[in-house]
């Protein structure tokens, strides 16, 4: 079950990384300051969510590593 959760979190991380990359590309093309600020705010929110997902992914990986050591002993 942990591997399935880990896979879903990994897919969410990859999707957010693609979203943030696309937002960065759009910032270069947009000239309207209001829209530019909206993109920047969306990018900040996406980075915060990415940070949370990376923490969750690390916790899931450390739990699975602890389980494997428990089995080995």
Q: What is the pLDDT of residue 44?
A: 97
pLDDT band at residue 69 using 50, 70 and 90 as cut-offs: low
DSSP 64: H
Q: Per residue in 20-66, pLDDT tens?
A: 999 999 999 999 999 999 999 999 999 999 999 999 999 998 876 55
Q: What is the pLDDT of residue 71?
A: 59
What is the C-alpha to C-alpha distance for residues 20 and 67, in angstroms, rounded to an integer?
34
CB-CB contact of 53 with 9 (8 Å): yes
Q: What is the pLDDT of residue 7?
A: 93
Q: What is the pLDDT of residue 64?
A: 61
Handedness of CA 26, 16, 55, 10 (dihedral sign): negative
């Amino acid at each position: 079950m942990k591997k399935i959760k880990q896979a879903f979190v990994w897919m969410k991380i990859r999707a957010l990384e693609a979203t943030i990359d696309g937002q960065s590309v759009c910032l270069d093309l947009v000239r309207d300051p209001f829209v530019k600020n909206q993109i920047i705010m969306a990018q900040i929110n996406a980075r915060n969510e990415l940070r949370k997902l990376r923490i969750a992914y690390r916790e899931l990986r450390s739990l699975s590593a602890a389980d494997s050591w428990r089995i080995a002993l």
